[in-house]
Chains A and B, each alone.
Chain A
Amino acid sequence: MTTTQKIESLRHTISVLVENKAGVLARIAGLFSARGYNIDALSVGTTEDPQVSRMTIVVRGDERVLEQVCKQLNKLIDVIKVMDYVGTPHLERDLVLIKVAADKNTRSELIQICDIFRAKIVDVAADSVIIEMTGDNEKIEAMIKMLRPFGIKEVCRTGIVAMARGAKGISIQELERV
C-alpha cells in the first residue's frame, strides 16, 4: 500500500464536466500542452445528459501544478465543473483488451490467470486469445506483468474513468439546482 500512496501523491485523477460541443476536447488537450502539463490518461464519454460530456484525466504534478491545472480547466468557457479526487474516496476503472499468444499448451494456464483476475477471454484464435478486463491501474499493470511471459501482441486501454463514492460527486442535477 505504501508504494501506491507514493504514486498517488504525484498522480491525480480529475473529472471534468464539459459542454458536449465541437472542439472541447481540443481545447482541453491544448491547455495541457500549452502549459506544459503531461496527461497520463484521458477518457471522454457522454453522461446522463446528452449535452454534457465527462472527461477523466490522469495527470502528474505537485500540489501547485494541480491547483493550476484545475483553475485553468475551470477558466475554459465550456468547462462546467472540475473535481480532483485527491483525498476523496473514489473508484477508478480502466478497461483493457490484451491480445496474448496462446496455443493449446498455454491456453489453460491463461484461463486460470483470467479467473484469478476476474478477466474474460472474449476471442480465441489458433495462436492467440483476446482478454478483456476491468480494474484500476494497479490491477491492470499486475495482469499485464503476469501475461508478459506468454507474449503480449497488443494492448489497448480505454483510460481511467472515476467516480466518488457515496454522496460526493459531480452530478448534473446538482448543477441545475445552483
Chain B
Amino acid sequence: MKKLKKVEIHELSGAQIIVECLVREGVSQIFGIPGGALLPTFDALYDSPVKVVLTRHEQGAAHMADGYARATGKVGVCIATSGPGATNLVTGLATANMDSIPVVAITGQVATHLIGNDAFQEADATGVMRPVTKHNFMVKDVQDLPRVLREAFYIARSGRPGPVHVDVPVDVQRAKLKFDWVENVSIRSYKPKISGHPLQIQRAVELIDKSEKPLLYVGGGAILSGARDEIVALSEKAEIPVVHTLMANGAFPFDHPNYVGIMGMHGRFSSNIATQNCDLLISCGARFDDRVTGSVKTFARNAKKIHIDVDPANIGKTVNVDVPVVGDLKTVLAKIAEMVKFRKHQTWRKQIQDWENKHPFVVKPVKGVLQPQYLIQRIHKLTKGEAVVSTGVGQHQMWAMQWYPAKNPRRFLTSGGLGTMGYGFPAALGATFGVNDRPVICIDGDGSFQMTMTELGTAVQEKKKVILVIINNFFLGMVRQWQELFYKQRFSYSNLSQNKDENAKKVHPDLKKLSYIPDFVKIFDSYGLKGVRIYKNEEVDGAIKKALESEKTFLIEAMISPGEKVFPMVPAGGSLDETIVDMA
C-alpha cells in the first residue's frame, strides 16, 4: 500500500473541515437546503468560497448536482439536513445511481448520542441510502471526517462513477480537529480496473478484423469515460457504423457518415435492424438494458459480442458475450483502435442505408397543428444541435432523444435508468452553473414538470436562464400511449385535466376549447417570468427565437394533441425485428 502524504494545517471544526474539503476538491457551488442538523455547516459556508444554491426541495438539489455533473464531468455536490431532508434526496440519488453519475451528498444527522432514539428529524439515512448509492458513510468521529470526504469524492468519480452519501451528525460538525488533508487515497478493497486485459483486447481486435458486418453499440459509459475521440477513431479506421442508446446521445457526432442513430424501444428502424443483422456487436459502455435489447433471446442473435465495460458485473448479466473486456472505455478503445486493421465495409453500410431509405426517419410537417417532433427538430436546427438539453421522462423524452441528436457529449441530460419524472428542470438548472457558452433547454412534459416545478423559485433567485419547453397534452402521455395501444383505450387515471377522455381519442381535438390545469404561463408570470403558448407548427420558430433572446428563464408551452404517439416502437419484451414504424 502506498504511504499517504499528508499536509498539515491548523485546528478546524467538523463543519469547517467539510467546507475546506469542498474547496480543495475544487467544488465551486453546492445545492441544498439548511436545517437543524446542518446549522454548523451552513454557518461555515456563510463566508466561504463555496456558494450554496438554495433549492426549494431536496430532490431538486440532488437533480441539480446530477445535472451539473453530467454537463461538466465534475462531481456534483448536494447537501440536506437530517430526516426529511435526507429522505427527500433519495429519488435524486437513485437517479444518479442508475445512470452512474458522480454526486456527493452530505446530510446532517442528529447528535451521535441521540442516534436510534427516534429524535426529532431523525431518520436512518445511511440505511435508506444504501441501496440507491454507490457507497455511503456515517462519520461518528471527527477524526475520520477528512479521510471519509476524500474517499467519497474518489469513489464517486472513479471506476464506474456514482453517488456517494456522507452522513455527519451535528456534534461531529461541531467537534474540533487538527486538520490534515489526505493527499492520496488508497482503498484496499476498491481498485477499479482501467487498462483492460491485453489478451482480451487482442481477441477483440481479431474479431473486429474478421468481421464483415460490425456494429458499434455505444452506451452512456462512452460519455462518462470521455471516449468520443476513440470511438470516432475506431469507427473510421475499420469503417464501423455506430448505433447508440439514450444515454449515449452525443457520444458520437450525429453528422458523421458512420452514424446510424438511436436504437432500442423507440430507436430508428435502421438502427434496430442493423443491430439484429450485424455479425459483430461491439458494446462500448452499454449494459444491454431491457429498453435497448427488447427480447434478450433474439437480440443480435447472430452476432459475436464484445463487451467493454468498467464494471465487471455488467458483463454477462443479461446477454452472454464472446469477448469481455473489463476496463476504462477510453483506455481500452485507444488500444483497440491502434491495433485493428484498416477496413472497408461498403456493402454493409449500403445495406444499412437501404433500411434507412425503406423507413426514413423524417418529420412530415402538417399545417395548422403542432407536432412535437417538428418542434424539437426546429429547436435542434436553430441551436445547431449544440445546446444543453435536459428532459423529464415519457413521450417528450423519447421525442427529444429522437429529434435532438446532440453534437457533443455532456449535452443531453436525461434520466435513462431510473426514469425519474421531474428530473428535467432541476437538472437543466444545475447545468447552468457549469455551462455559460450555450443555451440550456429543458424539454419537459406537463406531467414531469409538475413534479419539480417548485424549483422555478431557485431559477429566479439565482438569475439563471433555462428555456423550458413544456410539451403539453394534458396527459401522462406515455402511460396514455400504452393504454391506447395495449389497454383498449381505457385511459385509467392518466388524464391530468378535467377534459373528457373523448377529447383524447380524437386525432386533432380543438385544443383552444379545452381546459388545462394549471395555466403554466400564469405560473411563470407569478415568478416574474415570461412565456408563450403555441398551437401550430407555424408559431414554432418565432417562439424559439423569443426564448433564445430572453435574458431570463422562459417558457414555451407547446399544446399538442394527446393522440400524438412515439414511433418507432418495439412493444415491451418484443424483438427488435418487430420494430413498429407507425400506426399505418
Binding site for B on A (CB under 8 A): 18-19, 22-23, 26-27, 30, 34, 64, 67-68, 71-72, 74-75, 77-80, 175-176
CB-based contact A80/B189 at 8 Å: yes
From known contacts A77-B155, A78-B189, infer whether A71 and B126 are also in contact, taking CB-CB under 8 Å.
Answer: no
How many Å from the CB of A37 to the closest CB on chain B?
Answer: 13
Q: Which of B127-144 contact A (CB under 8 A)?
A: 127, 130-131, 134-135, 138
From known contacts A23-B126, A26-B127, infer whether A77 and B134 are also in contact, taking CB-CB under 8 Å.
Answer: yes
In the complex, which residue of chain B has the Cβ closest to the Cβ of A69? B313
CB-based contact A26/B130 at 8 Å: yes
Contacts of B126 in A (CB 8 A): 23
CB-based contact A77/B130 at 8 Å: no
Q: Which of B113-136 contact A (CB under 8 A)?
A: 126-127, 130-131, 134-135
CB-based contact B189/A79 at 8 Å: yes
B187 at the A interface (CB under 8 A): yes
B311 at the A interface (CB under 8 A): yes
In the complex, which residue of chain A has the Cβ closest to the Cβ of B190? A77
Q: Please, how many angstroms separate the alpha-carbon atoms of A128 and B389 in the complex?
A: 74
CB-based contact B138/A30 at 8 Å: no
CB-based contact A77/B316 at 8 Å: no
Binding site for A on B (CB under 8 A): 1, 126-127, 130-131, 134-135, 138, 155, 187-190, 311-313, 316-317
Known: A23-B130, A23-B138, A34-B131. 8 other contacts (CB 8 A): A30-B130, A68-B317, A74-B312, A77-B135, A79-B189, A80-B188, A175-B188, A176-B1
In the complex, which residue of chain B has the Cβ closest to the Cβ of A51? B188
Residue among B131, B138, B188, B312 with the highest chain A CB neighbour number at 10 A = B188
Question: Contacting B311 at CB < 8 Å: which of A64, A75, A77?
Answer: A75
In the complex, which residue of chain A has the Cβ closest to the Cβ of B140? A22
From known contacts A77-B135, A77-B155, A80-B189, infer whether A71 and B312 are also in contact, taking CB-CB under 8 Å.
Answer: yes
CB-based contact A67/B316 at 8 Å: yes
Contacts of B155 in A (CB 8 A): 77
How many Å from the CB of A23 to the closest CB on chain B?
Answer: 6
CB-based contact A22/B127 at 8 Å: no
Q: Please, how many angstroms separate the alpha-carbon atoms of A30 and B480 in the complex?
A: 35
**Interface of A: prevailing SS:** helix
Contacts of B317 in A (CB 8 A): 68
From known contacts A26-B130, A77-B134, A77-B155, infer whether A71 and B189 are also in contact, taking CB-CB under 8 Å.
Answer: no
Residue among B127, B134, B155, B189 with the highest chain A CB neighbour number at 10 A = B189
Contacts of A75 in B (CB 8 A): 311-313
Q: Please, how many angstroms separate the alpha-carbon atoms of A67 and B127 in the complex?
A: 26
How many Å from the CB of A171 to the closest CB on chain B?
Answer: 14
In the complex, which residue of chain A has the Cβ closest to the Cβ of B164? A77
Residue among B131, B138, B313 with the highest chain A CB neighbour number at 10 A = B313
From known contacts A23-B126, A23-B138, A77-B155, infer whether A30 and B131 are also in contact, taking CB-CB under 8 Å.
Answer: yes
In the complex, which residue of chain B has the Cβ closest to the Cβ of A172? B188
From known contacts A27-B130, A77-B135, infer whether A19 and B189 are also in contact, taking CB-CB under 8 Å.
Answer: yes
From known contacts A23-B126, A26-B127, A27-B130, infer whether A77 and B313 are also in contact, taking CB-CB under 8 Å.
Answer: no
Q: Please, how many angstroms separate the alpha-carbon atoms of A23 and B148 in the complex?
A: 15
Q: Please, how many angstroms separate the alpha-carbon atoms of A77 and B1 in the complex?
A: 17
Contacts of A71 in B (CB 8 A): 312-313
How many Å from the CB of A81 to the closest CB on chain B?
Answer: 8
How many Å from the CB of A67 to the closest CB on chain B?
Answer: 7
From known contacts A23-B126, A80-B189, infer whether A64 and B316 are also in contact, taking CB-CB under 8 Å.
Answer: yes
In the complex, which residue of chain A has the Cβ closest to the Cβ of B188? A80
Contacts of B313 in A (CB 8 A): 68, 71-72, 74-75
CB-based contact A77/B138 at 8 Å: no
How many Å from the CB of B147 to the closest CB on chain A?
Answer: 13
Contacts of B127 in A (CB 8 A): 26
Contacts of A30 in B (CB 8 A): 130-131
Q: Please, how many angstroms separate the alpha-carbon atoms of A72 and B187 in the complex?
A: 18
Contacts of A19 in B (CB 8 A): 189
In the complex, which residue of chain A has the Cβ closest to the Cβ of B187? A77
Contacts of B135 in A (CB 8 A): 77
Q: Please, how many angstroms separate the alpha-carbon atoms of A59 and B138 in the complex?
A: 29
CB-based contact B189/A77 at 8 Å: yes
How many Å from the CB of A108 to the closest CB on chain B?
Answer: 51
Q: Please, how many angstroms separate the alpha-carbon atoms of A26 and B130 in the complex?
A: 9
